[in-house]
């Protein structure tokens, strides 16, 4: 009789997912900070606004593209089972938050692209057009949506961070080591 040994369960995320996770965390933090705290404070008639918009738009394009790559890598690689909080409601909220992060980031990228296209920003910011920036971006319907998504992203990211810290330091289940580099079968 031939016996088969079951494969060792995956205990860490694929290195590509790990790299994408931390790179996206950095880019999202920078883009949200730039949009929320810096861009809205610079008047649209300031020359500094174009440079800030360029940085924000480049990060937005990178984030949208990298999120697509992350989604494909996630679908095509094995990953550890979801870690339980020990509470059914919190476990359900974790699932909603993870899906929500993807939805919100894609919605943010789409609404940002819509604002840019409607206001002619690509020609101004990247094409060297001499056209002035619009007096206000508030007149473009996707702008309000973009702001609401930013607030929702702050909340979901905070929930995600609190959950990771809860696992790491209260449940002491070494959850953070799953989203770090190392052998997939070892923690």
pLDDT tens digits, 66-90: 999 999 999 999 888 888 888 899 8
pLDDT per residue as tens digits for the range 117-134:
999 999 999 987 777 899
Rounded average pLDDT over 89-113: 94
Domain regions of the chain by residue span: 15-178
**In this predicted structure, what is the pLDDT of residue 140?**
96
Assign 182 a pLDDT band (cuts: 50, 70, 90): confident
Assign 158 to helix, strand or coil.
helix
Check: pTM over 0.85? Answer yes or no: yes
**In this predicted structure, what is the pLDDT of residue 186?**
60
Q: Mean pLDDT, the chain, as a whole number?
A: 90
**In this predicted structure, what is the pLDDT of residue 3?**
57
d(CA 141, CA 151): 17
Q: What number does CATH give the domain 15-178? A: 1.20.950
Half-sphere exposure at residue 87, Cβ-oriented, CA atoms within 13 angstroms: 8
* Residue with token string 């980031």: 105
d(CA 11, CA 45): 52
């Amino acid at each position: 009789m031939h016996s088969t040994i079951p494969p060792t369960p995956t205990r860490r995320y694929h290195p590509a997912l790990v790299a994408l996770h931390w790179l996206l965390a950095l880019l999202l933090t920078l883009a949200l900070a730039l949009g929320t705290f810096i861009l809205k404070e610079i008047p649209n008639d300031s020359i500094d606004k174009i440079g800030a918009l360029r940085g924000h738009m480049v990060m937005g394009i990178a984030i949208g593209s990298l999120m697509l790559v992350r989604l494909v890598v996630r679908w095509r690689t094995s990953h550890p089972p979801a870690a339980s909080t020990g509470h059914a409601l919190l476990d359900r909220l974790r699932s909603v938050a993870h899906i929500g992060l993807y939805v919100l980031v894609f919605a943010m990228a789409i609404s940002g692209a819509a604002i840019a296209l409607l206001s002619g920003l690509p020609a101004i910011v990247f094409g060297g057009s001499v056209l002035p920036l619009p007096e206000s971006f508030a007149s473009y319907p996707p702008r309000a949506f973009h702001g609401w998504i930013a607030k929702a992203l702050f909340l979901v990211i905070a929930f995600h961070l609190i959950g990771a810290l809860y696992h790491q330091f209260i449940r002491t289940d070494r959850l953070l080591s799953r989203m770090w580099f190392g052998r997939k079968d070892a923690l």
